[in-house]
Structure 1
């Protein structure tokens, strides 16, 4: 009974690497029934996957050392990753070996969320002091520059424009610091997510036209209202869509889709046709000062992560080199204000 009722996948195999028995949890993990698996070669389970060499190495280590544990990552055709702990013990009884398989995907995802959350909190504390220290001399600089505006000679006008433009950029960075530094006053209310997105698209349409970028929208009809802070969500959408425009210097399409999921959530996906982002860089997106842009700070996406987190939502990023990147935001229909 203990074998069959275990929530972990249990797999018994002999020294000829034939499957002798497995429980129902293992059937669920492999998506195959016990009748089809018993008597089959252990490695045959993984013959059409990229992880077969890892499984062979794992089994060899268990046979050699008596026991061995590994973390195996399985990636679906859609690019979704599942993480499994494989623990194997050789000769639990004569001629029989046991492999315990634990699905640790949720644990890994929670650890990653906590790591990012801790980073945000630390950066937030640092940001408060930095932003205020910079803002004071910045105010003086902006004031004196404005006083000089009338006396700027024609040949120096370009320098004046560069100075004011860069001061505005610094001011924008300071504002992003302050958003991280402390919670902003927010008024959560019931709003139409489609309307918020339409207003965002209208706002960015001129920039899109300049870059030869077209918006393609697909919004599900009769979507329920969501409980949100509309200006904060608009900030997230602006940040992601502006990035999408900028990664397509030769133009292209941005597909924006909004629909309701079976789990009573709202899914917003923003898909560009840029060059894509390497997998190792995707993991770092949202971290402070990490950016794939030449003049970026990484704070925009970091702020976006925090806003979505405050809406009890999640951000997922999928990318394919040479084809583009998709940002997917999942929001609950009944989020509570914080």
Structure 2
């Protein structure tokens, strides 16, 4: 791959986060689109259900009107037509006696049946009788339904026409036009209509109930959609957060892997160089010691300088090898306080020389850790040396241990603090990097070796400053179970 092509690639973390976010963006869009589609289908279903309910109750009411008309037809024929023909020789609703008889027959028949109005129309469409007297003499305004009834087919109309989305407070009526036939005929056919019944039923309450049910259905569907949307939205948001955390963790792991690969390459190079240096360095030191035993008193100090500097260089080479070729720990349950006390006993003369007072705070019951005592001894020796070197003019070094819990694991926390100048917070992120140092002298491998040893024990190293300004090193080691 060319350098130009490589330069166009995004950083690992940015690439991971953007790529990880794409599926959840699609899920978010899909969820919103699905909810809209479900809501539209819910509206259509609720509309269809309500319309079907309207059609069913209209059909029932129309059948009710037909049954009422048949009963009314029978009552009028037997209780009005026959007596009028017998007593008066003919039918004339205009006569007060016949009108009163017809009115009594009709009103007794429809009594308590929730009928709003009954009209009787002649064959020209004129209203010859009505339960509401002011309609008598008018012409029916439903000519199409009236003509259907004259042809022998009962016809119904709704006024005003039903509108599903119209409020339910408006009055609606069902007008049913049914032919009045002669029941005295004994043939199969009843003969032509003699008049037309117009029966008006009030449907306001039924339509109001349908309208209320429609609103309840819509409200229920909206609440369900809102709850579903909130649940799905929370799942998507939580998933996005999880993916973002995983992407960030993956980016950190990739960066750590890249750094580990770089350090491995650097370690191999350092190991090779250190090995090549150590052999001639040993020869130089042994030669200087031999010369020191043979030269006069004037030249002997010079040979001693060579031996001393050779020893210092050998120590540096040893640090390089410790960093380049870390040893695999042999883990066992041990008392970390014993390791710390061994370090402090060894450094007691140096601490006394520098005027540094050591204060320890260990629990009565020693804490057991799972570790390698030799490797941990070397790690804490570096930490204590750094603390002593930071207090050349004297001071106080505090060492303490305690049991702590981090996440789901139990650790033993070892805290080492001093009263020196403390860490440079601006360089805090680089203090564990190899060859990074803020001292005039030193290889910058001390804390790196500490970090490698602690990491091999599956522990953690934390660097910070105390409230007084001194440096503080915290080492967390996995706690071991006593047997």
TM-score, normalising length: structure 2:
0.47
CA–CA separation in structure 1 for the residues paired with 2:237 and 2:450: 37
> What's the counterpart of residue 167 of structure 1?
310
> What's the counterpart of residue 3 of structure 1?
233
Going from structure 1 to structure 2, the CA distance change for 1:269 and 1:117 (only over 3 Å counts) comes to farther
Structure 1 position 101, deviation (Å):
8.5
Q: Deviations over 1:74-100 (max 9, x none)?
A: xxxxxxxxxxx9xxxxxxxxxxxxxx9
Q: Deviations over 1:87-125 (max 9, x none)?
A: xxxxxxxxxxxxx98698756764564455334322221
CA–CA separation in structure 1 for the residues paired with 2:325 and 2:244: 43
Deviating more after overlay: 109-118 vs 240-249: 109-118
> What's the counterpart of residue 230 of structure 1?
373
> What's the counterpart of residue 434 of structure 2?
288
Secondary structure of 1:268 counterpart: strand
Structure 2 segments unaligned to the other structure (5+ residues): 1-230
- Looking at secondary structure, tell me which structure has more strand per residue: 1
CA–CA separation in structure 2 for the residues paired with 1:9 and 1:273: 47
Secondary structure of 1:4 counterpart: helix
CA–CA separation in structure 1 for the residues paired with 2:262 and 2:459: 18
CA–CA separation in structure 1 for the residues paired with 2:283 and 2:293: 17
Going from structure 1 to structure 2, the CA distance change for 1:179 and 1:145 (only over 3 Å counts) comes to same
Question: Which of 378, 395, 408 is the aligned partner of 1:252?
Answer: 395
Going from structure 1 to structure 2, the CA distance change for 1:193 and 1:157 (only over 3 Å counts) comes to same
1:126 aligns with 2:269: yes
CA–CA separation in structure 2 for the residues paired with 1:326 and 1:6: 42
Q: Tell me if structure 1 keeps the 8 A contact 2:336–2:368.
A: yes
Structure 1 position 228, deviation (Å):
1.1
Secondary structure of 1:264 counterpart: strand
CA–CA separation in structure 1 for the residues paired with 2:315 and 2:459: 25
Structure 1 position 319, deviation (Å):
2.4
Structure 1 position 277, deviation (Å):
1.9
Question: Which of 262, 285, 290 is the aligned partner of 1:147?
Answer: 290
CA–CA separation in structure 2 for the residues paired with 1:128 and 1:195: 32
CA–CA separation in structure 1 for the residues paired with 2:365 and 2:233: 48
Q: Deviations over 1:131-160 (max 9, x none)?
A: 111112112112211211212433334333
Question: Which of 422, 447, 457 is the aligned partner of 1:276?
Answer: 422
CA–CA separation in structure 2 for the residues paired with 1:109 and 1:334: 29
Q: How many residues align?
A: 248
Q: Deviations over 1:289-331 (max 9, x none)?
A: 2111211001222211111111111111012697111111111
Going from structure 1 to structure 2, the CA distance change for 1:113 and 1:213 (only over 3 Å counts) comes to farther
Structure 1 position 334, deviation (Å):
4.5
The alignment's C-alpha RMSD in Å is 2.9
TM-score, normalising length: structure 1:
0.66
Deviating more after overlay: 214-223 vs 231-240: 214-223
Question: Which of 324, 327, 331 is the aligned partner of 1:181?
Answer: 324
1:315 aligns with 2:461: yes
Structure 1 position 192, deviation (Å):
0.7
- Looking at secondary structure, tell me which structure has more helix per residue: 2
